[in-house]
Amino acid sequence: MSAESLHDGAWDWIVIDRLEFDTIIGIYPHEREQVQPLRVDIRLGVAPIFETAQSDDISTTVDYQRVCETVIALAQSGQFNLVETLAQRCADALFAAFPIQAIQLSVSKPLALPYTRGVGVEIFRRRPVVEFEPQ
């Protein structure tokens, strides 16, 4: 029995803490006129990393630089009013681009309200299971 079969259904986590960049996001006119900082924390549930740990080869895991580039490009498109929408679209894009099984993602606007450290949303999603029915 392989080490992987012993852990079927288990995940390891790739963690990206405090991805920070500037973008246009918000519903108010002043938020649409100039960039503001955005903070994104990402946890990616992946298959156990046994193979990656043995091979020491990036092709056997998720490249977190590409994950960051994907999130930044999506956010900096400027098309989102709500952090809720951005969070869901990031999850959708990451599922489409990478072999991940789950995502925990938070998006925060640190300067949105002066009396807070930030406001935002946190989501958890599992990869959608597509069931095929015989015809």
Task: Measure the CA–CA gap between 107 and 41, rounded to whole angstroms.
Answer: 7
Query: Is 109 an active-site residue?
Result: yes
Q: Would you state the pLDDT for residue 103?
A: 97
Q: Mean pLDDT score of the chain, rounded to an integer?
A: 89
Asked if the model's pLDDT at residue 8 lies above 80, the reply is no
Look at 3 and 40; give whichever has higher pLDDT: 40
User: To which residue do tokens 């630089």 refer?
Assistant: 65
User: To which residue do tokens 């597509």 refer?
Assistant: 130
For 18, the token pair is: 């405090």
Beta bridge partners of 37: 22
Q: Where are the alpha helices (DSSP H) in the chain?
A: 3-6, 29-33, 50-55, 64-75, 83-97
- One of 38, 95, 109, 112 is an active-site residue; which one? 109
| Residue pair 103/121 in contact by the 8 Å Cβ criterion | no
The structure's pTM equals 0.85
Model confidence band, residue 132 (pLDDT cutoffs 50, 70, 90): low
Model confidence band, residue 104 (pLDDT cutoffs 50, 70, 90): very high
Task: Measure the CA–CA gap between 129 and 135, rounded to whole angstroms.
Answer: 19
60 burial (CB, 10 Å; 0-12 / 13-18 / 19+) is: middle
Read off the pLDDT of residues 48-86 as tens digits, 9 standing for 90 and up.
988 888 999 998 899 999 999 999 999 999 789 999 999
Task: Measure the CA–CA gap between 108 and 4, rounded to whole angstroms.
Answer: 36
Q: Would you state the pLDDT for residue 86?
A: 97
Read off the pLDDT of residues 87-103 as tens digits, 9 standing for 90 and up.
999 999 999 999 999 99
